[in-house]
């Protein structure tokens, strides 16, 4: 499966690059004009800082015309960044570790978002319905857990919760199910548990569902959930633009982290989440710098769970 994912990603890279008349990783620019930068993002609360930073002109003042392109997930964003269709992208850390270990030339430029680090009060949770006999993550042995995509940070984190609770992580069965479908599938009994992020956590709670673990918190304190990244070609070909983007992104992260009310407001401009739900959601943390020990823990877990074929080279991937 890992080999087929890597082959598909590389094929996509070649196809996109071959169909483009623009040199890979070269922003569309004219003399004296700002650099037009395409960034692949996902329409979730995690990326609130980059939208907030754009509205605050943190990118404009660094001569960047920011173009945010919504994608379905990191699986689509990674090959688009490598091919030069996007100059930067946002993806969960396990997907980046897998892509890097499969030979894709990626480089993280700054943090994306972190867990709150508070058990029972995180922006993501492992949940069951109200009348479920499952009381702890250890009870998931032989049970079915819904994940938005397979072989990413979700199954790594859920297995960590099962292991911590004294259960057998290898016995858990994962099924791929988009976040919006998970609350209804849980309620109807099609799956035994779901791992959901906001706002879907609120939807499960509204149905009477229960949290049985804060899986991101179980992995590591201040877990790095996702990061912004670029390609090695972009890094070597236009280091000044990478530097300016990284500076703007770090300012955006710091601003969002210290202005949660404004972060909530911006979420309503790029998602379809109702205002009353946004008001209830638990927000992630948005530190500017990558927590390297937490990434190492993720990499070790991914290796032990078989998601990585070999130990990750963090020096190659991280700033």
**Is the pLDDT higher at 20 or at 262?**
262
Phi, psi of 40 (to 5 degrees): -85, 125
Mean pLDDT on 36-62: 96
Helices (H), the chain: 2-19, 48-55, 74-83, 93-101, 153-164, 182-187, 200-206, 215-219, 232-237, 239-258, 260-270, 275-280, 292-304, 314-317
pLDDT, tens digit (0-9, with 9 covering 90-100), for 281-293: 999 999 999 999 9
Q: Which pLDDT belongs to residue 72? A: 75
* pTM (predicted TM-score): 0.86
Residue range(s) in the chain whose domain bears CATH number 3.40.190.10: 2-114+222-317, 124-219
- Indicate the SS3 state at residue 132: coil
pLDDT, tens digit (0-9, with 9 covering 90-100), for 68-107: 999 877 778 999 999 999 999 999 999 999 999 999 999 9
Contact (CB, 8 A) for 146 and 154: no
For residues 115 and 65, give the distance between their C-alpha atoms in angstroms, rounded to a whole number: 30
CATH superfamily assigned to domain 2-114+222-317? Periplasmic binding protein-like II (3.40.190.10)
* Integer angstrom CA distances of residue 227 from 28, 107, 126, 173, 185: 24, 10, 22, 27, 30
- Indicate the SS3 state at residue 255: helix
CATH topology classification for 124-219: D-Maltodextrin-Binding Protein; domain 2 (3.40.190)
């Amino acid at each position: 499966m890992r080999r087929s994912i890597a082959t598909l990603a590389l094929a996509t890279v070649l196809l996109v690059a071959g169909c483009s008349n623009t040199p890979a990783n070269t922003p569309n620019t004219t003399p004296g004009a700002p650099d037009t930068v395409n960034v692949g993002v996902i329409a979730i609360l995690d990326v609130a800082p980059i939208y907030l930073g754009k509205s605050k002109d943190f990118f404009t003042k660094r001569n960047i015309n920011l173009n945010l392109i919504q994608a379905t997930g990191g699986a689509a964003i990674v090959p688009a960044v490598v091919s030069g269709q996007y100059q930067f992208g946002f993806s969960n850390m396990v997907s980046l570790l897998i892509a890097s270990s499969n030979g894709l030339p990626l480089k993280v430029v700054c943090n994306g978002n972190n867990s709150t680090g508070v058990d029972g009060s995180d922006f993501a949770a492992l949940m069951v319905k109200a009348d479920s006999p499952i009381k702890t993550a250890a009870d998931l042995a032989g049970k079915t857990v819904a994940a938005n995509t397979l072989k990413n940070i979700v199954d790594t984190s859920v297995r960590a919760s099962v292991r911590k609770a004294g259960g057998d992580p290898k016995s858990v069965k994962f099924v791929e199910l988009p976040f919006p479908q998970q609350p209804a599938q849980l309620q109807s009994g099609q799956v035994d548990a779901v791992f959901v992020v906001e706002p879907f956590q609120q939807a499960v709670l509204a149905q009477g569902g229960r949290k049985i673990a804060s899986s991101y918190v179980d992995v590591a304190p201040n877990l790095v959930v996702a990061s912004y990244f670029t390609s090695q070609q972009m890094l070597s070909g236009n280091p000044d633009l990478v530097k300016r983007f990284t500076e703007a992104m770090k300012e955006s992260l710091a601003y969002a982290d210290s202005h949660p009310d404004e972060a909530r407001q911006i979420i309503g401009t790029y998602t379809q989440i109702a205002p009353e739900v946004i008001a209830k959601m638990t927000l992630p943390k948005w530190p500017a710098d990558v927590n390297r020990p937490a990434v190492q823990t993720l990499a070790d877990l991914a290796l032990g769970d078989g998601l990585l074929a070999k130990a990750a080279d963090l020096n190659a991937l991280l700033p």
